[in-house]
Structure 1
């Protein structure tokens, strides 16, 4: 299941564009209308339905799957999507060990 990382903030800024900020890194990403639509579908677990919608515009289903999967990969690489931990497993905590001399 794909989720939105906690350190991601977004705002629609008009003309089909969305500004996305990773508050941890300070990095901005700009999404066009189609990328935003795919991002929203991934977060809502609706990617198969979106592929069918895209295929309904005349694009072969296989090509629609490739396009959507490619954008999901890019969004994941940009840190805008992440895999949710398995529901049966507890989340791993990250600890920093501080040592004093």
Structure 2
């Protein structure tokens, strides 16, 4: 997403099966060399490699794990039969209109 709220496809890479920091460093360096001077907030899926590579190429960027992956990762702390309940109880946190509201919803979520 750009600051003008448009989406740009910057490239398509077919990897050799590796998704580590070295692979992502190559991809991000190529993007930077093609003119992508700065990245504000890359959203990653929770792998260890992308945040390390982002830090090396764009040290001021704030890496965010996508909400879907955060939610999926939280399921490991609940029994399978409770996953729907956890997902429903957590939704007000990530759909909150601002940080203060999200903090309040998270405190409520902790009490459930």
TM-score range, shorter chain: under 0.3
- Normalized per residue, the structure richer in strand is 1
Q: Give the TM-score taking structure 1 as reference length.
A: 0.23
Greater RCO structure (CA 8 Å; 6+ sep): 1
- Normalized per residue, the structure richer in helix is 2
Q: Give the TM-score taking structure 2 as reference length.
A: 0.22
